[in-house]
Amino acid sequence: MGKKTKIGLAAAAVGAAAWAGSKALANPHQRPDKEVLNYERPIVLAHRGGAKLAPENTLAAFNRSAELGVHGFEIDIRMTSDEEIIVFHDEYIDRTTDGAGKVADMTLEQLKSFDLGYHFIDEDGHHSYRGKNEKVVLLSELFQKFPQMLINIDIKDAPETYEGSLVPSKLWRLIDSLGAHDRVVVTSFYDEQVDRFNLYAQNRIAIGAGENEVKKAYSAFTSQFGHLYQPRADIFQIPTKSSVFRLDSARFIAFLENLNIPVHYWVIDDTETMRLLLAAGAKGIITDRPDLAVALISETEN
């Protein structure tokens, strides 16, 4: 046996011993149950209220999706210059309204003056919501108007900004004051924002995985050391693909499910993809077409 062969076998033996040792010592723990995630059948969350059926993040969209029978909403939040939390996605308002400017530089009163239906075009090519009085919605308004809905909240303000530094604590105080602990999930692309929020919530609120947490979980899943992964999130809300990596395999879903972590996929707007994800074990569909998703869920239940 050559020297290189001996070295290779020794390295393999060391690797196997390390794996066996880590397996014996590892104590992977499931995430504790959260009431908001306690559902037996897959659910439908209307993305920004159902952004292909009505102007995103408007009461028109939320009302329409509620009438369709969705289980909840997936929304984004930002903070205004007078420190109000509004339901809004973009950093700048010009894409959806008849105005222009940065959300964080404007007061709630200024933002309320804009028409959120201005740029929306329906399936017939008409500006059917322009001038229909669709205004910016406060997060507190959404909670109060739809007390039966699960609301998934994505913090959009970056942690290094002034508004981003305030929003985790203000969001916690709002949820706590409304007693909405068991019907919200709080997440963000910024893991730091999720961590900041949880400093106040102390695990009393379901939290979603930030971008780094998703990468950490996927790396563990594809390695031989998945048993060492200790999750810091109660739910994964992810796309089907990140860069060249597929995140929608039944095995990855099962890996997270074994840790008591349900998986929701966004933004899924075609029935066939929805069907495949549900068959793979997805527990939620986040969609701009809640009409299609609700119909599919109803079909699979019957």
Condensed to tens digits (0 to 9), the pLDDT of residues 178-211 reads 999 999 999 999 999 999 999 999 999 999 999 9
> Which residue(s) pair with 150 in the sheet?
72
Q: What percent of the chain has pLDDT over 90?
A: 83
- pLDDT value at position 57? 97
**Is the per-residue pLDDT at 91 higher than 80?**
yes
Per annotation, catalytic residue among 29, 47, 127, 181:
47
Map residue 47 onto helix, strand or coil.
strand
- pLDDT value at position 13? 43
Q: Which of 1-15, 97-111, 150-164 has the lowest mean pLDDT?
A: 1-15
Contact predicate 266/47, CB 8 Å: yes
**Residue 29 designated active-site:** no
Identity of residue 256: L
- The predicted model gives 84-95 an average pLDDT of 97
Per annotation, catalytic residue among 89, 119, 127, 181:
89
- The predicted model gives 273-280 an average pLDDT of 97
**Is the per-residue pLDDT at 246 higher than 80?**
yes
**Is the per-residue pLDDT at 125 higher than 90?**
yes
Residue 193, CA distances (Å) to 92, 239, 286 in order: 20, 20, 21
pLDDT band at 32 (very low <50, low <70, confident <90, very high): confident
Map residue 18 onto helix, strand or coil.
helix
Identity of residue 234: D
- pLDDT value at position 8? 47
- pLDDT value at position 24? 42
Q: Report the CATH superfamily, name and number, of domain 34-91+137-301.
A: Phosphatidylinositol (PI) phosphodiesterase (3.20.20.190)
pLDDT band at 242 (very low <50, low <70, confident <90, very high): confident
Q: What percent of the chain has pLDDT over 70?
A: 90
- The predicted model gives 242-270 an average pLDDT of 95
Beta strands 85-87; 137-138: pairing state: antiparallel
**Residue 47 designated active-site:** yes
- pLDDT value at position 263? 98
Can you say whether the dihedral through the CA atoms of 57, 289, 154, 62 is positive or negative? Answer: positive
Task: State how far the Cα of 118 lies from the Cα of 131, in Å rounded to an integer.
Answer: 7
**Is the per-residue pLDDT at 76 higher than 70?**
yes
pLDDT band at 5 (very low <50, low <70, confident <90, very high): low
Q: Give the predicted TM-score (pTM) of the model.
A: 0.89
Those residues whose C-beta lies under 8 Å from the C-beta of residue 70, and which sit 6 or more positions away, are: 44, 45, 46, 50, 149, 290, 293, 294
**Is the per-residue pLDDT at 224 higher than 90?**
no
- pLDDT value at position 1? 56
- pLDDT value at position 226? 79
**Is the per-residue pLDDT at 21 higher than 90?**
no
Name the more confident of 13 and 152: 152
Q: Phi-psi bin for 230: left (phi > 0), alpha (psi -120 to 50), beta? A: beta
Contact predicate 36/150, CB 8 Å: yes
pLDDT band at 16 (very low <50, low <70, confident <90, very high): very low
pLDDT in tens, 37-56: 999 899 999 999 999 999 99
**Mean pLDDT across the chain, nearest whole number?**
91
Domain ranges (residues) in the chain? 34-91+137-301
Contact predicate 249/256, CB 8 Å: no
Tokens (6 digits) for 256: 């997270």
**Residue holding tokens 């390390």?**
18
